[in-house]
Amino acid sequence: MEKEINYYGDNFQQKSKYIRGKLPQHYLDWARKPKTYKIYSNVVKNISLPTPKFTNSISFWKTIQTRHSTRRFKNEPLSMMELSLLLFGMNGLTRKYPQFAFRTVPSAGGLYPIEIYPVINNVEELDPGLYHYNIPDHSLELLKLGDFRQEVTEGCLGQTMVYISAINFIWTAVISRSKWKYLQRCYRYIYLDAGHIGQNFYLVAEALDLGACTIGAIYDDELNKLLDIDGYNETTIYVGVIGRI
């Protein structure tokens, strides 16, 4: 018997297309708009990050030209300033207004569905553990103390570079933030948004002379379990690893 193939990717691509004269129509209920930021109320500890300090001597075009993936790292710690610059570069606030704030990356509809969970393995002044990036405060929320390298490595199909990196950045998507406006087409935009963050991750790493690599091959449910998220309203979609070259 021929094995049945589920063409779910092909089906989604076709069903989520915009067709002239048949655009989906729905009312934006502003009273039910999901919150822009995720902030944990019950954490082990809140840690302030240093204000990012930028080096004027770094060449933008050289950074673009030399950007590449690195899968081998030294067993040396990153600094708090390097972590601060990485997080700010990936999703930091740049221009703040009463009802909205621009960030270092674009996002469809300005909805910013991506959350960042740094799993700290080797950073000066920080205990190993699972953290969450508090975007409006530019701070870290410590969720769980401990060494989670093995769990993240297994969740990334056993890739060695995950285990030896200084930090594993797990990127999740809060689906409802984008679905509120874009309905089922939101998934297209969510993956684009994650790509913007991934590219900034690479560029900041290159500017800091650090090695970095992004990972799309993941066991979603295993990483969701580590983060204590449900995999439906919020789910893991992407991972980045970084360390000294």
Tokens of 142: 């410590």
| pLDDT tops 70 at residue 4 | no
pLDDT in tens, 83-102: 999 999 999 999 999 889 99
Instruction: Report the CATH fold assignment for 73-244.
Output: NADH Oxidase (3.40.109)
Place of tokens 């909205």: 100
Distance CA 182, CA 95 (A): 25
State the average pLDDT for the chain. 96
pLDDT in tens, 99-117: 899 999 999 999 999 999 9
pLDDT in tens, 25-84: 899 999 999 999 999 999 999 999 999 999 888 999 999 999 999 999 999 999 999 999
Distance CA 151, CA 181 (A): 35
Can you give the pTM of this predicted structure?
0.96
Could you tell me if residue 20 is left (phi over 0), alpha (psi between -120 and 50 degrees) or otherwise beta?
beta
Reference 163, options 236, 245, 86, 75; nearest CA is 75
Interval 177-195 mean pLDDT: 97
pLDDT band at 1 (very low <50, low <70, confident <90, very high): very low
Sequence-distant (≥ 6) Cβ neighbours of residue 121 within 8 angstroms: 128, 147, 149, 165, 166, 167, 168
Over pLDDT 90: what percentage of the chain? 95
pLDDT in tens, 131-162: 999 999 999 999 999 999 999 999 999 999 99
Residue 61: how many other CB atoms lie within 10 Å:
7
CA atoms within 13 Å, Cβ hemisphere of 69 = 8
